[in-house]
Chains A and B, each alone.
Chain A
Amino acid sequence: KAGVTQTPRYLIKTRGQQVTLSCSPISGHRSVSWYQQTPGQGLQFLFEYFSETQRNKGNFPGRFSGRQFSNSRSEMNVSTLELGDSALYLCASSPQTSGPLEQYFGPGTRLTVT
């Protein structure tokens, strides 16, 4: 099976702009989670989607949003970008509907905000 794919891999944006990142989960996986990784804050959970519904949400401002499509592909959007949004954004998919989240991660999208 193909792994989790994320596009684009690298992105440079300017403060105030918005950005959309895409994630295609492993075939058959219905749960998709997003994480932000920065040197200062480490790995932080953004949100999780299951069957097109947001099932869990981390402690991030409303500028961060996401959605999931009927084919389980997911997008996350960050509006009004700030310098502090520069990070590696990781997407992970999981086959489970409940219980331990054995998550499979994509390579990430490296976002640089200037």
Chain B
Amino acid sequence: AQSVTQLGSHVSVSEGALVLLRCNYSSSVPPYLFWYVQYPNQGLQLLLKYTSAATLVKGINGFEAEFKKSETSFHLTKPSAHMSDAAEYFCAVSGTGTASKLTFGTGTRLQVTL
């Protein structure tokens, strides 16, 4: 079974500092990996996805993630945090084929302070 583990349920950074949100995956086959963001009282918004085309994936709002097979990781980064980045972030994994579904991590709440 595929799964993802997000390390750290809460992360706090200063505005302008590097954002690093950790995600490790477990999959017996090459996975598809995603990062979603959820703002309060809203649904999930796709930040970026990895589908094996390139190991460094650039997403929206200045976020990027690097797929590292040797470390089974897909960490999300942003060079400079902005107050508007405060939200909950979810890593997710999907298999391939018509029966695939998204399996989410437990989420990391990002706090950005002045």
Contacts and interface: CB of A to CB of B under 8 A. Distances in A.
A43 B90 CA distance: 9
A107 B98 contact: no
A99 interface: yes
Contacts of B106: 42
Interface stretch (A11-19, A48-56, A63-71, A79-87): A48-56
B46 interface: yes
B33 to A, nearest CB: 9
B100 interface: yes
Interface residues of B, number: 25
Interface residues of A, number: 25
Most buried by A among B96, B100, B105, B106: B100
A102 B104 contact: no
B96 A43 contact: no
Contacts, number: 67
A103 B43 contact: no
Contacts of B45: 105
B43 to A, nearest CB: 4
Given A42-B107, A43-B90, A100-B94, A90 B102 contact: no
A31 to B, nearest CB: 9
Nearest to A9: B41
Nearest to B103: A45
Contacts of B94: 100-101
Contact of B96 (A56, A58, A98): A98
Given A43-B90, A100-B96, A105 B101 contact: no
B64 to A, nearest CB: 17
A32 interface: no
Interface of B: 32, 34, 36, 41-46, 49, 51, 90, 94, 96-107
